[in-house]
Chains A and B, each alone.
Chain A
């Protein structure tokens, strides 16, 4: 059917965005609305000695200036990390206190000290500048290696040596032994650069306390409004859950950064109660750079060993992960259970050992950003494989193929059990699309034009469909990671699907509609997807970790199963047939082999009038499902990047980027390709352009688009996107997930290509023209010396 599974249905949500009628948080104005601005620390580390708000409070239009002592005095709780990670010695992680408004100390530039509420935004911002804070400046540490060094400035009293945890996975002894006995080994230092997510819509919040009902409403830029409500209620004591409505309307991109509940939402809710006004805050871009959770920031040393036949015998990885000044909501899981568990890559490896030390520094908190741990794992693995192939003098594609996992299920030594895949098929498809065989001719042709051409592979695997609740619970998660859906058939036969997933660009209103349309044979215009409002949707864990297909849509399928069962009962009753003979197709309920049928809306009407339904059946036609996945899903693929480097300036041009992905069942190829495009662009951004830079005093140097290089249209190529899928056995639709793959798979392909082109493997991300040029000079100098 043309609008069902596999169809390139145009997006239902597009029109409102295209005609300027999207409704983002900052577009909303509440009655009696006031504006908030935050007083932020200009220092990366300082004791807060005193706050004098008198000048600000005296300004016309200023309603209130509120600080951390008042906030904690009102019983507002500290911000927490929701995933407990245990150190290898059995001790729990050292979570430092994080108050939404700093009380005694500030720990990064931008740490909020006070909130100013005024009747205009301009006044709020001016007043914030008038608040005088007396700071006692303290020594600063900004990177994880320095943070762990002796004598480093201490951020939190309960985290000696700035160590959040010292975690391990795998088996060290056998891994060491395997590496000691290896015929070939490759060892590398690998840095995964720190990134700023940069959703184009800055974060925003409007909090409204309704005195009459003792009730709060929060509009916010969230990927998971129910989780926000849960955390705001259960941990931050802002309001009890039943007295707090959280609405995430249209949200302009998230990429992980809008999962977390930030100080600003807490402060706005509390300030609304204190001032009895609606309080609106909208981040500007500089605030976004200073306060949105950053991503990545790993420093790794890794060693891989091969036997004489080039089979991997062991992998040992030592990583220092910078978590910033405080532990953000999922910050502990990202460099551990979303990282170490993927270090087996697509390969059969018997022995893996991974040690991760997480470190506090005077920088903004670091948390999950598109891919979250998996890009870091994939970067380590795929840089190692390419480098090892070069050092052993074998074809990098061949080395990978020799080590592929080929039988499923496959239990890795690092928790994950891969359920399906055909890695060689993806590699074949990518190599053919990229004309790998013709590369040397292209390299020679480029050389004749003075250009250095290189090619690089990346065979990534990731874990999505996050996640089986009991499994993640056993690993420390504070929540279950199921999803819920309610399928509500109205008396006229139209359908509303209430989903706990949240769309902020992913096109759920279209894709989710497609599976419902296909299931009941209905036109897509009769189906509405409802999401993003805790008063409407029963509950939800939200959208991140490429989970809305494999988990969110599975919940819809399960709810549709229940609807279908009830419809069949009603159909059988009304049509006087056996339930087993009832079929649902083309918008009708039919008796197999006869011309007896009820139109879909007649079933809806029958269910709601309840004049003629089976005895004992409850009226109505509305079913809910809470779906808990049985396993992670494992999207995988092969990416090939081909570059030309201008040796005079170090400029890299990506001349070809090929992706072959295995996402399992694809509902809407158009949307899936769009997800891959965007993911690859972010991965190329990481590889070539983007990097957060703090100076030694903790000042953020990359605080605007003047210094943080966002990928623009002319920085990027067209992408050659292909699919070669195996069905995921773990969920009803066979889906694996596609949201993060591009960002996970692409960085190593780009760096492998550039290092191939320039003949120097010593190159870190972002591979800016300046760095690539320096690497070319270094390679030339080395060659001259030899």
Chain B
């Protein structure tokens, strides 16, 4: 790992100002992706601003069907939150299957979505739930937030504070893990929301997380796994690599979508 300067921020404002003062600062939350990346010399931030201890960024709030998750809340905390499990078990189940237990003790929702790994789980949930990403500066709709592979709408020095969404009527996430990395080769989050069915796919698309509009249309009229049988998923735009080609991923998207709907 290259040299870096570590700062522990105690408030969002302090984190923002520390980032502003840094040459090439990076926010450090759980560090489960950033630190291995730095070890591999693939990232070399001049400064690390640790936001994990900021009170405003921690914890899960459930008020009726309005849910708010602090950006520095760990996967284990999300997975173990009883109120959230009652309101939206799809999200707690998703969090319970990210990485491994030790990673879940450190890794955070904010870190996950800020990195926007095309095979990460949370982006699919946030997109399907129509979540809002609240930063120190603004609210960003999930649709606008996830821009492309490892790219988000965040400005330099912008800090994600929390994620908000309304609990859907039904939701479920089904993931087919890569045999090596255990990231999603295809992860499909389906949600029956007040505004209609929403289906988001991670791991499979060559431009990161996306909404599967054909499936949404099919589910709008008939919320059942059977409704998806007629939907054809094209291999165009799917990732193809040593673990599976585009045709296989297209198949997985369809199978996982069906399983997600059946699992609701």
Contacts and interface: CB of A to CB of B under 8 A. Distances in A.
A707 interface: yes
B178 to A, nearest CB: 8
A408 interface: no
A122 B252 CA distance: 43
A706 B119 CA distance: 12
A707 B180 contact: yes
B145 to A, nearest CB: 25
Nearest to A708: B180
A391 interface: no
A773 interface: yes
Interface in A756-786: 768-770, 773-774
Contacts of A715: 179
Nearest to B251: A773
Contacts of A688: 179
Interface string A681-717: 0000000110001000000011001111110000100
B105 interface: no
Interface in B175-201: 176, 179-181
B245 A770 contact: yes
B41 interface: yes
Given A126-B2, A702-B242, A769-B244, A648 B255 contact: yes
A318 to B, nearest CB: 27
A613 B243 CA distance: 72
Contacts of A122: 1
A649 interface: yes
Interface string A466-490: 0000000000000000000000000
Contacts of B1: 122
Interface residues of A, number: 24
B176 A649 contact: yes
A707 B242 CA distance: 8
A774 B244 CA distance: 10
A693 B179 contact: no
A710 B180 contact: yes
Given A122-B1, A129-B41, A770-B243, A706 B248 contact: no
Q: Which of A649, A706, A715 has the most CB of B within 10 A?
A: A649
Contacts of A126: 2
A768 B255 contact: no
B244 A768 contact: yes
Interface string B1-36: 110000000000000000000000000000000000
A701 B180 contact: no
Contacts of A129: 41
Contacts of A770: 243-245, 248
Contacts of B243: 707, 768, 770
A774 B243 CA distance: 12
Given A773-B248, A774-B248, A689 B179 contact: yes
A484 B123 CA distance: 61
B244 to A, nearest CB: 4
A129 B243 CA distance: 31
Contacts of A773: 248, 251
A693 to B, nearest CB: 5
B176 A706 contact: no
B176 A709 contact: no
Interface in A273-298: 286
Nearest to A706: B181
A129 B40 CA distance: 12
Nearest to B252: A649
Contacts of B248: 650, 769-770, 773-774
Contacts of B255: 648-649
A707 B181 contact: yes
A406 B40 CA distance: 57
B180 A706 contact: yes
Contacts of B247: 774
B16 to A, nearest CB: 30
Nearest to A715: B179
A774 B240 CA distance: 14
For A648, A688, A693, which residue has the most chain B Cβ atoms within 10 angstroms?
A: A648
A650 B255 CA distance: 11
Contacts of B2: 126
Contacts of A693: 242
Nearest to B100: A712
Interface in B203-248: 242-245, 247-248
A66 to B, nearest CB: 22
A768 B179 contact: yes
Nearest to B40: A286
Contacts of A769: 176, 179, 244, 248
A689 B180 CA distance: 8
A709 B244 contact: no
A688 B252 CA distance: 18
B189 to A, nearest CB: 18
B87 to A, nearest CB: 29
A706 B185 CA distance: 12
Contacts of B251: 648-649, 773
Contacts of B252: 649
A732 B32 CA distance: 54
A689 B243 CA distance: 10
B242 A705 contact: no
A286 B42 CA distance: 14
A709 B241 CA distance: 14
Contacts of A709: 179-180
A768 B41 CA distance: 31
Nearest to A711: B179
A83 B251 CA distance: 49
Interface in B247-264: 247-248, 251-252, 255
A223 B179 CA distance: 30
A710 B176 CA distance: 17
Given A768-B244, A770-B244, A705 B41 contact: no
B34 to A, nearest CB: 15
B218 to A, nearest CB: 18
A648 B254 CA distance: 10
Contacts of A710: 180
Contacts of B181: 705-707
Contacts of B180: 689, 702, 705-710
Contacts of A701: 242
Nearest to B180: A709
A648 B248 CA distance: 10
9 contacts: A126-B2, A648-B251, A707-B243, A708-B180, A709-B179, A768-B244, A769-B248, A770-B244, A774-B247
Interface of B: 1-2, 40-41, 176, 179-181, 242-245, 247-248, 251-252, 255
Pairs A-B, 6 closest by C-beta atoms:
A770-B244, A709-B180, A709-B179, A706-B181, A770-B248, A648-B255
Given A286-B40, A715-B179, A774-B247, 5 more contacts: A126-B2, A649-B251, A707-B180, A709-B180, A769-B248
